Every structure is written in structure tokens, then in C-alpha cells.
């Protein structure tokens, strides 16, 4: 994936100025330290050039987005035809080559050359006039903080392209009678590009039966490198590895990057996939339990934005009003990428599902600032809810709860944070990410054209109620 850098100008100032504009643009691009490469493409001077480069950007699968900047004035009517057909994420970088106004050097020529304060306003107008979703970042290009904002947008752009190609495999349906894990899959494909389809558990079991000992041995080695476990549990763990290998074969065969399953539909399987699912998440696959394909998809997207990051499927379970924390966990399926220390595989009985005692990875989640994300179908539209949380080291050991666990305090404060989440309709399933930033969440929702509800330190529940009403007017109900 790479990003294209296109500089806006025009013929008015002569060849020498255009040469300088190009040279400066290349210097800017070379100095950007970003998570994905940026390629300087062209200084555009006329309608035909802009239309052509937009078509090329749309067509190039490796182009994740387009960054524009107007070094000089670049009359915006010549941008209309091109921008109107742009299908890639767009960032308008409002920068200026020099970071100051020189006292002696400034004359009319200098002013013509270094006039992004002027040219970028024309460029901004046409973005607003076309009602185009775009990120706007202002500041000097050498400033690391400014570059950080571009990096945040890049993550969102990469996530959006990933989303548009995302295939999600469902083993079994949603958990019976549960509402929030339901949703309009056609709408999800129209808005997010997700292809969500079901695959028979019986076929998965057939593939599991065909997994060889050699395949299992190889995966067991991988487990041993990452996790501690007792020799006595090996047989149970080998069964999880059999499940993991078979699930991944289907994911690879289908080109899928996320999956869901449900404990209500495990016919022919001896254990609920615990370790299997956890290790698949660790490898970058998205997952949602109880048929929750929406959380599976969002988990995969955040993992694609931050390939070496700390992101997991998560579920809210219990409160401690004194300590003002939420206990987050799941029956089994929490990703070890959020572990505070080296995790352990353990085998314990599971009260739900009526299967054999499954192997699972047990650990404490790490402390730190994070976000929980929930994608819900609110009827006629998708709503993404993002809440700031502060993860803390669990204040007790909970020796009889042998699952991965973490604790956090929600923003703006414990109780108001809970009230806000409930008012917004946030699910009990979430994506917990220690990586995703406010900018990236906002950029992603804007690129995808979905409703975003942010709950952070500035949120109040009454303002949030108002936002819900406004959302119904903006998006329809
Ligand atoms: Mn659940």
C-alpha cells in the first residue's frame, strides 16, 4: 500500500516557478516519516491532468489514498471533474514549504510561489462545495505532530480499503434471540464492503478430521514459543490446534480475514474453539463470538490498521462500583496481543455449550489508554460507537475465573460513561484497541460514511442524547 502526493498549481507563474514547486514537493515527500510510503506523483496544472491522475488512483489497487497540497494557487474549477470521480480516501494537506515569513526575501515572486495560505483556501472551498468526505491536516510538514495526523489518517485509509475487500466467514448463525449481534448484511456490504456468508459446521468438522499429526506438531511448536502450558494438557491443546488449522484452511480458501461462530452450533466438535480462536486473532484475524460478524469485521479492520498492535474482541461482564471498573473478558476468546505478560494455556471445564473442557489462553490484559468500539445496526444505518477507556491492572486475582481478563474505567467518568454507552446502544461485545486514535476513528467513519458516536472526556449524557436525535435527522430513522 502506498499514498499518492499530488501538488496543485497552474501555468500562470511560468516554468521556473513550476520547477520549484515540483522540487519543493519532492523535498516534502522525502521528509515525511509515516507508516506507509508516500509517492510524489505530479504537479497538476489543468483539468485533464487532474482527471487522469484521479482515474489512475482509482484503478491502482496499491494506491490507498491521495494527499493534495497547493503550493501556489490552483484554480478549483479545474479540479471538479477529477475530484467528483475520486474513489480513494482524500487528505488535503494544508502546509507551506517554508515555515516562516522572511523579512528580506519576500517579494511578489516569493509570495506567488509560497502561497498555500491562499491556494489551499481555494482548494478547501471546492472540497466543501462538493461535500466530499476528506481529512484536512494543517501545519508545517516537518513537524512530527503534523505528520502524526497524516499517519492517523493513513491507518484509517488502509482500514477502509481493507474493509472494502473484507470477507467474513460465519460458522453457524447468531446466538438465538440476541438482538445486537443481528444486522443488515446487505447494508454492511453497501456501506463497508463486507461480504458476510455462512459455511457449514459439518464441513469444518470434516476438514478437522483430515488435519494431520505433522500439521498439529508444527502448530504445537508455535504455541510452545508463545505460551506456557502443562504437558498433561497436551492432548486437549492438540485438539484446539486441529480446530485452528481447519478454521484457517477455510479462511484462506475463502480469502476471509474474519470469522464468527457460536457455542449453539458446534455439532461434531469436542471443544468450543478457545485457544484456536485466540491464536487466530493473534495472527491478525478478526473474530466475533455468538455469531457476532459485525464485531468480527471491526476487529479485523483495526488489526489491519495496526498489524503489530494490541487489539482484541472483548466483552463487558461485571462492575465493581467501589473500584469504579468494568471487568472485561469472555468465555474464552480474548486475543493474547493485549496480554501484560507471557500468557498461559490452561484447560478447564466450561459451563456453557455442553462440550468437553476446552484449552484457552489465560492472561491479564495490560494497563494503558485504549478504546472500545462497537458497530451496531440501529435500523436503516450502521452506527460506530467509540469510547475512551483507561485499562488498569486487575485489582484482584480472581483464581476461579481461568480466562483472559482485563479491567478498565470508561470516559468521561465511571457512571456517566456507562450511561452514555447504554444511551448510544453500544453492544456487550466490543473491539478493545490500545492503538487506535481519535483521529483514526473519525477519519474511518468519515471515509465509510457511517454514523460515529464518540464518548470521551468531553461527553455528557444530555449532549449525547441530543446527538442521537440529530443522528436520526441526519441519517434518517
Ligand atoms: Mn459474548
Tens digits of residue pLDDT in 373-398: 999 999 999 999 999 999 999 999 99
Query: Is the predicted pLDDT of residue 331 greater than 90, yes or no?
Result: no
CA of 264 to the centre of ligand 1 (A): 12
Same domain, 324 and 373: yes
Query: Is the predicted pLDDT of residue 368 greater than 90, yes or no?
Result: yes
CA of 174 to the centre of ligand 1 (A): 11
CATH number for the domain including 337?
3.20.14
Query: Is the predicted pLDDT of residue 352 greater than 90, yes or no?
Result: no
Query: Is the predicted pLDDT of residue 362 greater than 80, yes or no?
Result: yes
CA of 255 to the centre of ligand 1 (A): 25
CA of 317 to the centre of ligand 1 (A): 9
Instruction: Give the pLDDT confidence of 431-472 residue by residue, as tens digits.
Output: 999 999 999 999 999 999 999 999 999 999 999 999 999 999
Query: Is the predicted pLDDT of residue 244 greater than 90, yes or no?
Result: yes
CATH number for the domain including 126?
3.40.50.10940
Same domain, 152 and 170: no
CA of 290 to the centre of ligand 1 (A): 6
CA of 260 to the centre of ligand 1 (A): 11
Same domain, 126 and 205: no
CA of 229 to the centre of ligand 1 (A): 25
Same domain, 153 and 184: no
Local confidence band at 118 (pLDDT 50, 70, 90 cut-offs): very high
Instruction: Give the pLDDT confidence of 269-318 residue by residue, as tens digits.
Output: 999 999 999 999 999 999 999 999 999 999 999 999 999 999 999 999 99
CA of 4 to the centre of ligand 1 (A): 41
Same domain, 94 and 170: no
pLDDT of residue 433: 98
Mean per-residue pLDDT of the chain: 97
Single residue among 113, 148, 163 that ends a domain in this structure: 163
Report, as an integer, the average pLDDT of 121-141: 98
Same domain, 155 and 203: no
Local confidence band at 223 (pLDDT 50, 70, 90 cut-offs): very high
Instruction: Give the pLDDT confidence of 169-213 residue by residue, as tens digits.
Output: 999 999 999 999 999 999 999 999 999 999 999 999 999 999 999
pLDDT of residue 476: 82
Single residue among 129, 145, 163 that ends a domain in this structure: 163
Single residue among 113, 135, 163 that ends a domain in this structure: 163
CA of 315 to the centre of ligand 1 (A): 6
CA of 429 to the centre of ligand 1 (A): 6
CA of 176 to the centre of ligand 1 (A): 12
Same domain, 275 and 322: yes
Query: Is the predicted pLDDT of residue 99 greater than 90, yes or no?
Result: yes
CA of 105 to the centre of ligand 1 (A): 65
Local confidence band at 229 (pLDDT 50, 70, 90 cut-offs): very high
CA of 291 to the centre of ligand 1 (A): 9
CA of 277 to the centre of ligand 1 (A): 13
pLDDT of residue 354: 87
CA of 314 to the centre of ligand 1 (A): 8
Count: domains in the chain: 2
pLDDT of residue 85: 98
Same domain, 77 and 170: no
CA of 331 to the centre of ligand 1 (A): 7
Instruction: Give the pLDDT confidence of 419-432 residue by residue, as tens digits.
Output: 999 999 999 999 99
Same domain, 29 and 70: yes
* Residues above pLDDT 70, as percent of the chain: 100
**Strand bridging mode 429-433 / 325-329:** unpaired
Q: Residue 448 is part of which domain span?
A: 165-475
Same domain, 234 and 381: yes
Q: Which residues contact 378 (CB under 8 A, 6 or more apart)?
A: 425, 451
CA of 230 to the centre of ligand 1 (A): 28
Same domain, 270 and 378: yes
CA of 333 to the centre of ligand 1 (A): 9
CA of 89 to the centre of ligand 1 (A): 33
Report, as an integer, the average pLDDT of 326-335: 94
Same domain, 281 and 426: yes
CA of 238 to the centre of ligand 1 (A): 25
pLDDT of residue 158: 98
pLDDT of residue 60: 97
CA of 436 to the centre of ligand 1 (A): 22
Is the pTM above the cut of 0.95? yes
Query: Is the predicted pLDDT of residue 477 greater than 80, yes or no?
Result: no
CA of 239 to the centre of ligand 1 (A): 22
Amino acid at each position: 500500500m502506498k499514498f499518492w502526493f499530488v501538488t496543485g498549481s497552474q501555468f500562470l507563474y511560468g516554468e521556473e516557478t513550476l520547477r520549484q514547486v515540483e522540487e519543493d514537493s519532492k523535498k516534502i515527500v522525502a521528509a515525511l516519516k509515516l507508516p506507509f510510503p508516500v509517492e510524489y506523483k505530479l504537479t497538476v496544472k489543468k483539468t485533464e491532468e487532474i482527471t487522469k491522475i484521479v482515474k489512475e488512483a482509482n484503478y491502482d489497487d496499491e494506491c490507498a489514498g491521495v494527499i493534495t497540497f497547493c503550493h501556489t494557487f490552483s484554480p478549483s474549477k479545474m479540479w471538479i471533474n477529477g475530484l467528483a470521480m475520486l474513489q480513494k480516501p482524500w487528505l488535503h494537506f494544508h502546509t507551506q514549504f517554508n515555515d516562516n515569513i522572511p523579512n528580506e526575501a519576500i517579494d511578489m515572486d516569493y509570495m506567488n510561489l509560497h502561497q498555500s495560505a491562499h491556494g489551499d483556501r481555494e482548494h478547501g472551498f471546492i472540497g466543501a462545495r462538493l461535500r466530499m468526505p476528506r481529512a484536512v491536516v494543517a501545519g508545517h510538514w516537518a513537524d512530527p505532530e503534523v505528520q502524526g495526523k497524516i499517519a492517523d489518517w493513513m491507518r484509517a485509509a488502509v482500514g477502509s480499503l481493507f474493509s472494502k475487500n473484507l470477507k467474513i466467514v460465519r460458522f453457524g448463525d447468531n446466538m438465538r434471540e440476541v438482538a445486537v449481534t443481528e444486522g443488515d448484511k446487505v447494508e454492511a456490504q453497501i456501506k463497508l464492503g463486507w461480504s458476510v456468508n455462512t459455511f457449514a459446521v459439518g464441513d469444518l468438522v470434516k476438514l478437522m478430521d483430515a488435519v494431520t499429526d505433522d500439521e498439529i506438531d508444527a502448530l504445537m511448536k508455535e504455541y510452545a514459543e508463545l505460551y506456557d502450558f502443562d504437558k498433561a494438557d497436551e492432548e486437549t491443546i492438540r485438539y484446539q490446534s486441529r480446530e485452528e488449522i481447519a478454521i484457517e484452511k477455510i479462511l484462506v480458501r475463502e480469502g476471509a480475514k474474519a470469522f464468527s461462530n457460536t457455542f449453539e452450533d458446534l455439532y461434531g466438535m469436542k471443544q468450543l474453539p478457545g485457544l484456536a480462536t485466540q491464536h487466530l486473532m493473534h495472527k491478525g484475524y478478526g473474530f466475533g463470538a455468538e455469531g457476532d460478524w459485525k464485531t468480527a469485521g471491526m476487529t479485523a479492520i483495526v488489526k489491519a490498521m495496526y498489524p503489530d498492535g494490541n487489539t482484541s474482541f472483548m466483552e463487558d461482564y461485571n462492575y465493581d462500583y467501589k473500584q469504579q471498573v468494568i471487568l472485561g473478558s469472555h468465555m474464552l476468546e480474548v486475543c493474547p496481543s493485549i496480554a501484560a505478560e507471557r500468557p498461559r494455556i490452561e484447560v478447564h471445564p466450561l459451563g456453557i455449550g455442553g462440550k468437553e473442557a476446552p484449552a484457552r489462553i489465560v492472561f491479564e490484559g495490560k494497563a494503558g489508554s485504549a478504546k472500545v468500539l462497537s458497530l451496531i445496526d440501529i435500523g436503516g444505518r450502521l452506527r460506530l460507537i467509540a469510547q475512551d477507556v483507561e485499562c488498569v491492572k486487575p485489582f484482584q486475582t480472581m483464581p476461579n475465573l481461568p480466562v483472559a481478563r482485563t479491567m478498565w474505567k470508561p470516559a468521561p467518568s465511571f457512571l456517566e460513561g456507562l450511561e452514555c454507552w447504554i444511551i448510544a446502544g453500544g453492544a456487550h461485545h466490543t473491539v478493545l484497541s490500545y492503538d487506535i486514535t481519535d483521529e483514526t476513528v473519525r477519519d474511518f467513519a468519515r471515509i465509510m460514511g457511517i454514523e460515529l458516536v464518540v464518548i470521551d472526556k468531553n461527553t455528557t449524557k444530555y449532549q449525547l442524547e441530543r446527538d442521537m436525535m440529530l443522528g436520526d435527522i441526519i441519517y434518517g430513522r
